[in-house]
C-alpha cells in the first residue's frame, strides 16, 4: 500500500471542504477531520470517502502536517481559537512531530480579519504554527468525467511561510490545491478574494434586487427581453447567480461585511464601503426566506428561486 504524501486536517467538511478533501484523497494525501460535534449525516459523509474522523481537536493537531480552515466567514476566528486552545491546555500534542504544523486560513475574510487571526497564533508562546493567508476562488473541486483530471478552484495564498516550501510534500500540496503564492504579507490573499467576490456576489445581489423588483412591478418578462437584446451575457450571468445562491446565502452575509471592511481599511473607501453592508442585508433576507421554506428545494431553477424570494420579500413587508 502506497504511503500518503502528508496528513491534511480539513475543518470543516461542508460543500467546499468535502470537495477539497476528496481532491486531496485522490492525489495521495491522508485527510483527517474532527466532526465529533457535527451531525451523524456529516460524519457518515466523511467516512464514506475514507476521510479519517478523529475524536478531538487535540488528536487532529497531533496527527496533521497541515490544517485547512474552510468554514463560513463568521466562524473563521472561532476555528483558529479551537486550534489555539489545544496548545493552551495540557501537554503539547505534537511531541512526536518533528516538523512545524502549517495552518492555512482559506476563508472569505477581510485582510484585517486575516491579520487578527494571524496575530492570535503569535500571541500563544507554546504554539509553533506557521500561518498561511488564503482564499478560495471558484466552486468545489470535482472530477472531470472520463479523465483523471479535476476541475479545481484557484487558491491564492500569501504570508511569510510559502506552502510550496513546506518540508512535508509542500510543493505537491500547493500544486494539488492549485495555489498561487502572492507575497509575504498576511492579508494580501484575503484581499484578492474580497475584490473578486465583490464583483461576482455583488453583481448577484444587484440581480436579485432588480429581478424581484421587476417581478413586483409586473415587468419581469420585459426586463428579460431587453437584457437578452442589449446585454445577453449579463442575463445568463444573473440567472446563474440567482439559482446558485439560495443555499449559500447564510454564508454570504458575513462575507459581504468582510468585503466592506476590506474596502474601508485597505481600499481607502471609508464611507462608500457601506454599500457592502447593505448588500449583506440582501443575502440575509434571502437566507431568512430559505430558512422559512425549510431549505432551498425548488429554488434551483430561475423561476422557483425568484418567485420564492419575491414572496418572501412581500411577506416580510406585510408583517412589518
36 is written with which cell numbers? 465529533
What confidence tens digit (pLDDT) does each residue in 200-235 have?
A: 999 999 999 999 999 999 999 999 999 999 999 999
Instruction: State whether 200 and 70 are in the same domain.
Output: no
Are 111 and 195 in contact by the 8 Å Cβ rule? The answer is: no
Residue 2 belongs to a domain: no
What is the pTM (predicted TM-score) of this model?
0.92
Instruction: State whether 70 and 178 are in the same domain.
Output: yes
**What pLDDT, on a 0 to 100 scale, did the predictor assign at position 316?**
67
Residue at which a domain ends, from 186, 202, 221: 186
Residue at which a domain ends, from 161, 186, 211: 186
What confidence tens digit (pLDDT) does each residue in 83-120 have?
A: 999 988 777 888 888 899 999 999 999 999 999 999 99
**What pLDDT, on a 0 to 100 scale, did the predictor assign at position 33?**
96
Give residue 317's pLDDT band: very low, low, confident or very high (50, 70, 90): very low
The share of the chain scoring above pLDDT 90, in percent, equals 76
The number of distinct structural domains making up the chain is 2
What confidence tens digit (pLDDT) does each residue in 260-305 have?
A: 999 999 999 988 888 998 999 999 999 999 998 899 888 888 888 8
Residue 1 belongs to a domain: no
Residue 154 in 3-state DSSP?
strand
As a whole number of angstroms, the distance between CA 270 and CA 252 comes to: 21
Q: Is 97 exposed, middle or buried (0-12, 13-18, 19+ CB in 10 A)?
A: middle
206 HSE (CA, 13 A, CB side) = 12
Give the range of the structural domain holding residue 46, as residue numbers without chain letter.
Answer: 7-186
Instruction: State whether 39 and 175 are in the same domain.
Output: yes
Measured in residues, the chain has a length of 320
Q: How high does pLDDT run on average in the chain?
A: 92
Instruction: State whether 83 and 107 are in the same domain.
Output: yes
Instruction: State whether 199 and 175 are in the same domain.
Output: no
CATH of the domain at 99: 3.40.50.720
38 is written with which cell numbers? 457535527
Instruction: State whether 119 and 250 are in the same domain.
Output: no
Instruction: State whether 176 and 202 are in the same domain.
Output: no
Amino acid at each position: 500500500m502506497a504511503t500518503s504524501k502528508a496528513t491534511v486536517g480539513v475543518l470543516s467538511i461542508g460543500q467546499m471542504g468535502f470537495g477539497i478533501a476528496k481532491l486531496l484523497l485522490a492525489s495521495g494525501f491522508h485527510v483527517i477531520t474532527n466532526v465529533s460535534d457535527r451531525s451523524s449525516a456529516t460524519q457518515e459523509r466523511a467516512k464514506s470517502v475514507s476521510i479519517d474522523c478523529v475524536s478531538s481537536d487535540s488528536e487532529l493537531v497531533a496527527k496533521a502536517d497541515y490544517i485547512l480552515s474552510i468554514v463560513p466567514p463568521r466562524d473563521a476566528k472561532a476555528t483558529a481559537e479551537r486550534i489555539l486552545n489545544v496548545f493552551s491546555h495540557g501537554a503539547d500534542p505534537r511531541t512526536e512531530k518533528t516538523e512545524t504544523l502549517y495552518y492555512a486560513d482559506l476563508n472569505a475574510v477581510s485582510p484585517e480579519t486575516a491579520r487578527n487571526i494571524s496575530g492570535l497564533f503569535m500571541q500563544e508562546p507554546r504554539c509553533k504554527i506557521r500561518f498561511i493567508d488564503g482564499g478560495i476562488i471558484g466552486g468545489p473541486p470535482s472530477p472531470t468525467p472520463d479523465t483523471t483530471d479535476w476541475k479545481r478552484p484557484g487558491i491564492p495564498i500569501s504570508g511569510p511561510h510559502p506552502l510550496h516550501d513546506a518540508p512535508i510534500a509542500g510543493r505537491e500540496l500547493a500544486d494539488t490545491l492549485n495555489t498561487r503564492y502572492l507575497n509575504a504579507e498576511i492579508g494580501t490573499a484575503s484581499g484578492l478574494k474580497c475584490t473578486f467576490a465583490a464583483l461576482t456576489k455583488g453583481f448577484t445581489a444587484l440581480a436579485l434586487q432588480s429581478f424581484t423588483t421587476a417581478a413586483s412591478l409586473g415587468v419581469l418578462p420585459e426586463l428579460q427581453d431587453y437584457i437578452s437584446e442589449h446585454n445577453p451575457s449579463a442575463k445568463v450571468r444573473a440567472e446563474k447567480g440567482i439559482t446558485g445562491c439560495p443555499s449559500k446565502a447564510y454564508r454570504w452575509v458575513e462575507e459581504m461585511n468582510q468585503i466592506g471592511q476590506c474596502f474601508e481599511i485597505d481600499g481607502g473607501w471609508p464611507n462608500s464601503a457601506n454599500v457592502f453592508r447593505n448588500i449583506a442585508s440582501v443575502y440575509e433576507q434571502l437566507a431568512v426566506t430559505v430558512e422559512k421554506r425549510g431549505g432551498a428545494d425548488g429554488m434551483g431553477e430561475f423561476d422557483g428561486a425568484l418567485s420564492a424570494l419575491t414572496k418572501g420579500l412581500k411577506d416580510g413587508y406585510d408583517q412589518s
